[in-house]
Amino acid sequence: DLIVFLLSMFLLAVSFSAVNSFFSIYMDWINAGETMIGLAWSIGSWMEIPMMLLTGLLIQKFGSTRVLSASFL
């Protein structure tokens, strides 16, 4: 189980790294402007807060395996 968990976290980290690395470049490529890029990052960061607060409840209700699986979507 530990190996599966660590492999899952590695794959999740790699995919998020790719998004984080190229998101601003893509936004600039579509001429979004600095304000829009900053706003997009700000909204993304603020949306993490409710999920962090609700994760404990979600794990209690659905179990850690299902919550981890859903995080890949």
- Contact assessment for residue 27 and residue 36, using Cβ atoms and an 8 Å cutoff: yes
Q: pLDDT digits over 14-54, tens only?
A: 988 988 899 999 999 999 999 999 999 999 999 999 999 99
Q: pLDDT digits over 54-68, tens only?
A: 999 999 999 988 998
Number of residues that make up the chain: 73
- Contact assessment for residue 8 and residue 68, using Cβ atoms and an 8 Å cutoff: yes
Roughly how many angstroms between the first and final C-alpha of the chain, as a whole number? Answer: 21
The model's pTM: 0.67
Amino acid at 41: W
